[in-house]
Structure 1
Amino acid sequence: MTIVIFGGGRGFEDVTNGGVVLLAERPFHQPAEEKSAEGLRLALFSGNYNYTRDGSNQALNRLSAYLISHGAEVRVYSPTTDTPAFEPAGELVSAPSIAIPGRGEYRLALGLNRALRADLADFRPTAVHLSAPDLLGNQAGKWGRKMGLPVVASLHTRFETYLSYYGLDWLRPTAERYLDRFYRGCDRVLAPNAPIAELLREQGLGERVRVWGRGVDRDRFSPARRDLDWRRSMGVDDNEIVVAFLGRLVMEKGLDVLCETLVRLRGQPIRPLIIGEGPARAFVEERLPEAILTGHLDGAALGRAVSSADILFNPSLTEAFGNASLEGMAAGLAVVCPRAPSTSALIADGQDGVLAASADAQTYAAAIQSLISEPLRRVRLGRAARRTSARYDWNAICGEVLDVYRELGVTADRRARSAA
Structure 2
Amino acid sequence: MKIAIFTDTYAPQVNGVSRTLERLITHLEKEKIEYRLFIPYMKGSLPSDCIRPVLSFPFFLYPECRLSFPWAARIRKDLESFNPDIVHIATPFNMGLTGLYCAKKLSIPIVGSYHTNFDRYLEYYNLPYLSKWMWKYLKWFYKGFQRTFVPSYQTKTELNFQGFHNISIWSRGVDCTKFHPSTNEMVLKDYYDSKPAFLLTYVGRVAPEKDLDILMDTARKLPAPYKDKVHWLIVGEGPLLKELQEEKLSNVTFTGYVHGSELANIYADSTLFIFPSTTETFGNVVLEALACGTPVVATKSGGVQEIIQNGKTGILCEPRNSSQMIDAICSLLANPLRITAMANEARKYALDQSWEIIFNKLLNEYKEVIDQPFSSQNKLNMQS
**Alpha-carbon distance, 1:154 to partner:** 1.0
- 2:86 maps to 127
Question: CA, structure 1 residues 70+410, in 2 after alignment: closer, same or farther (shift >3 Å)?
Answer: farther
**Alpha-carbon distance, 1:266 to partner:** 5.5
The aligned amino acid for 1:48 is T
Q: Deviations over 1:247-306 (max 9, x none)?
A: 122222222111111111164221101112233222222233421222211111111111
* SS across alignment from 1:167: coil
The aligned amino acid for 1:316 is S
- 1:380 maps to 341
**Partners of 1:99 and 1:407 in 2: how far apart?**
38
Q: Deviations over 1:51-70 (max 9, x none)?
A: 31222111112112212322
- 2:310 maps to 349
Question: CA, structure 1 residues 242+236, in 2 after alignment: closer, same or farther (shift >3 Å)?
Answer: farther
**Alpha-carbon distance, 1:171 to partner:** 0.8
355, 363, 368: which one pairs with 2:324? 363
- Between the two proteins, the alignment pairs up a number of residues equal to 368
Aligned CA-pair RMSD: 2.0
The aligned amino acid for 2:308 is I
The aligned amino acid for 1:222 is H
**Alpha-carbon distance, 1:220 to partner:** 2.0
Report runs of 4+ in structure 1 exceeding 4 Å deviation: 87-90, 229-233, 236-239
| More contact order relative to length (CA 8 Å, sep ≥ 6) | 1
- 2:376 maps to none
**Partners of 1:105 and 1:233 in 2: how far apart?**
26
Question: CA, structure 1 residues 249+338, in 2 after alignment: closer, same or farther (shift >3 Å)?
Answer: same
Give matches, 1:201-240, under 5 Å: 201-206=160-165, 208-224=166-182, 226-232=183-189, 234-235=191-192, 237-238=194-195, 240=197
Question: CA, structure 1 residues 220+71, in 2 after alignment: closer, same or farther (shift >3 Å)?
Answer: closer
Q: Does 1:175 align with 2:129?
A: no
Q: Deviations over 1:90-140 (max 9, x none)?
A: 711112223212212211123452222221122111111000010321232
TM-score with structure 2 setting the length:
0.90
Q: Deviations over 1:205-244 (max 9, x none)?
A: 34x11111111111222111x2344455533645521000
- 1:278 maps to 238
Indicate conservation of the 8 Å contact 1:64/1:89, yes or no: no
Q: Which moved more, 1:319-328 or 1:48-57?
A: 48-57
Give matches, 1:315-354, under 5 Å: 315-354=276-315
The aligned amino acid for 2:169 is V
Q: Does 1:260 align with 2:220?
A: no
Indicate conservation of the 8 Å contact 2:295/2:343, yes or no: yes
Q: Which runs of 5 or more residues in structure 1 are unaligned?
A: 1-39, 412-420
Give matches, 1:72-91, under 5 Å: 72-83=33-44, 88=47, 91=50
TM-score with structure 1 setting the length:
0.83
- 2:258 maps to 297
Q: Which runs of 5 or more residues in structure 2 are unaligned?
A: 373-384
Identity %: 29
